[in-house]
Copies of this chain bind each other. A is one copy, B any other.
Amino acid sequence: MNTEIISVGTELMTGSILNTNTQYLSKRLSELGFRVHNQTAVGDNRERLEKALNAALGNNDLIILTGGLGPTQDDLTKEAVAEALGRELYLDKGLEKNLRSFFKEHGIPFTDNNLKQAYLIEGSKALDNPDGTAPGIVVRSEDKAVFLLPGPPREMRNVFENEVVPILNELRSEEISSRYYQLTGIGESQAEDRIME
């Protein structure tokens, strides 16, 4: 599957942080057999993020976003993906419960903006993030798969390895099974010559 990685965060645009997430994901995705064709990064800006998303959905089948899943107003990734896919957001009662428990256990006061992290995109699935409050998300649309991962590298890596890789293995086997052809009448060198391009 042709793949694009989109990193979201103004701190990348100012060079305040080095984008190690993109290298990590590119290396792992290549190892897993996915072709990374585009790497993109934009700041916490909804218009530019939606533009990047629409381009990515036009060019690639697998899109992995990192960052912009936090509780504050400048965290826009979920909203932008919902918009680009024409889906609504809804408050997931299970996620809300987990979130409130997390705050209680850690003795942190629960302000209302935190509820933002309990919203899911219609038809999506939450991906467990035991190290943070923002879960990952996977959403499929036609033949496209879009993953939203938290930006902090440790959270990103754990969600990727534990939650994303098993789904990618399924996607890859779908893809591989769709590419078996039975040839008859010509040998493999002739076949290669004809289909090379």
Chain A residues close to B by CB (< 8 Å): 7, 12-20, 22-30, 35-43, 45, 48, 51-52, 55, 59
Contact = CB atoms under 8 A, between A and B. Distances in A.
B13 A30 contact: yes
Copies of the chain in the assembly:
2
A41 B52 CA distance: 13
A37 B30 contact: no
A40 B40 contact: yes
Given A16-B27, A18-B20, 16 more contacts: A13-B26, A13-B36, A13-B37, A14-B27, A14-B36, A15-B30, A17-B23, A18-B23, A22-B41, A37-B42, A37-B43, A37-B48, A38-B48, A39-B42, A51-B59, A55-B55
16 contacts: A12-B39, A13-B30, A13-B35, A15-B25, A15-B36, A16-B27, A18-B23, A19-B19, A19-B22, A19-B23, A19-B39, A22-B41, A37-B45, A38-B41, A38-B52, A40-B41
B37 A26 contact: no
Contacts of A7: 39
A41 B42 contact: no
Contacts of A28: 15
A28 to B, nearest CB: 7
Nearest to A41: B39
A53 to B, nearest CB: 13
A36 B37 CA distance: 22
